[in-house]
Chain A
């Protein structure tokens, strides 16, 4: 199955893709995918924290909450993660063995 076929489920566990590097920038971070050579941007430091925290949480929503995203901004963060999933910058955590 292609990664692009994975729909973004915020209740599922996600992580920063293994071939992705984050470069800190004053406004957030630059995201680079070494595999498909796509470049993207995280437009806030909070979003950087969410992406970096993904792997430690059982769901994307849990990572959003644990990172201190204000309730009002939750939908915007879910949408940002969905965009990152579509461009393969984040990927599903592998199911536990």
Chain B
């Protein structure tokens, strides 16, 4: 069967062009490893343990060669914790040497003074230090004890080395939404730039989403804050669902999944977006014939995603042109239909949709999970005591599970 591809319009707004996809991604995220020294409760990729099938150095170089040919001018590198890959610094140099700029996200574990100086000397590299609380208390509850100290030490090292334009990257949660001004002043203190992004129910984020996603009032405050401070703050255009409050936020107000955005995961699997590590959004693998280019340009999944949405509840909403129905991953992992409202729809339709979900229907869960199996040093305590699930039910209590009625 041959799919009838929708006809791309000529001229008009860029957003309408982006809806039909590009010849190469603008914003490509590449997670280099699932290994991580931390065990953040909301990890979007359920990272922790390295996958034995991860791309080798030579395979990673081949991907970079391909990105250069496709004129993908920069990649967002993440993980896991990308810097724990022994060849990380080599791959960084290799990419830069092949006209592929690198922005990498790190928890700062490897950014000692020497590495900070090395980065400050390197053109065409950007560093983002992840921090999810403006105080150690708020940050460490989610990212683990000691992680605030690690991040701020890395920030100090970068500032001291004279690194320019490095970023502090914050996922906005219910716990830290009130700290935006504090984040801004913390960032200014290091001469860095603040980047805030949306928390999605992806990976382990699904387990804590109900508890951590911002309240409606916090979303409204965030929107007002972005309108007032947006020029000096990066957002990765991730809050476009807030545009339905009224004025459009700067940037691309459209889900870019498979259109201008995608993810290459550590084993070379290509997903529609970094928040969609699930078989439903798997377009192919860079190891297959034709490599990444063929996946990007010819996968059926991406062809589907490159059709403008024509049906569904949202298209009838007065705000559809502002938010375009919101985030695909947020809907999917909360069990909502993809053509309906975002669970955090600012008009309140998401809450209604969540309440109307069939309770017997389990929310889709990704089978890709590299979470640490044992305890991790400094394990986050958000969910109470760090818990290792009991192997047998009676390990917890000798009478557990006994029905004595």
Contact = CB atoms under 8 A, between A and B. Distances in A.
A14 B62 CA distance: 37
B150 to A, nearest CB: 27
A37 B23 contact: no
B400 interface: no
Contact of B124 (A26, A34, A44): A34
Interface string A16-39: 000001011111001010100101
Interface in B269-321: none
Contact of B74 (A23, A37, A43): A37
Interface in B43-71: 71
Given A26-B23, A39-B26, A34 B73 contact: yes
A26 B20 CA distance: 9
Nearest to A39: B26
B145 interface: no
Contacts of A77: none
Interface in A9-63: 21, 23-27, 30, 32, 34, 37, 39, 41, 43-44
A30 B101 contact: no
A34 B26 CA distance: 14
Contacts of A27: 8, 10-11, 14, 17
Contacts of A32: 71, 73
B348 to A, nearest CB: 35
Interface residues of A, number: 14
Contacts of A44: 11
B339 interface: no
A30 B10 CA distance: 16
B109 interface: no
B71 A21 contact: yes
Residue from B8, B22, B99 whose CB has the most chain A CB atoms within 10 Å:
B22
B297 to A, nearest CB: 11
Contacts of A24: 23
Nearest to A26: B8
Interface in B1-37: 8, 10-11, 14, 17, 20, 22-24, 26
Nearest to A33: B73
A25 B8 contact: no
A32 B14 CA distance: 16
Given A25-B23, A32-B73, A37 B101 contact: yes
A34 B123 CA distance: 10
A44 B14 CA distance: 10
A30 B73 CA distance: 10
A43 B73 CA distance: 19
A26 B74 CA distance: 20
Interface in B192-236: none
A21 to B, nearest CB: 6
B176 to A, nearest CB: 28
Contacts of A23: 23-24, 71, 73
A15 to B, nearest CB: 20
Nearest to A27: B17
Contacts of A25: 17, 22-23
B99 A34 contact: yes
Interface string B345-370: 00000000000000000000000000
A41 B260 CA distance: 13
Interface string B177-197: 000000000000000000000
A43 B26 CA distance: 15
B23 A43 contact: no
Contact of B11 (A21, A34, A37, A43): A43
A24 B23 CA distance: 8
A42 to B, nearest CB: 10
A27 to B, nearest CB: 4
Nearest to A31: B73
Report the 5 A-B pairs with minimum CB-CB distance, sorted nearest first. Answer: A23-B71, A27-B17, A32-B73, A25-B22, A25-B23
26 contacts: A21-B73, A21-B99, A23-B23, A23-B71, A23-B73, A24-B23, A25-B17, A25-B22, A25-B23, A26-B8, A26-B17, A26-B23, A27-B11, A27-B14, A30-B22, A30-B26, A30-B71, A32-B71, A32-B73, A34-B73, A37-B101, A39-B73, A41-B14, A43-B11, A43-B14, A43-B17
Given A23-B71, A34-B99, A39-B26, 6 more contacts: A21-B99, A25-B17, A27-B17, A37-B101, A39-B73, A43-B11
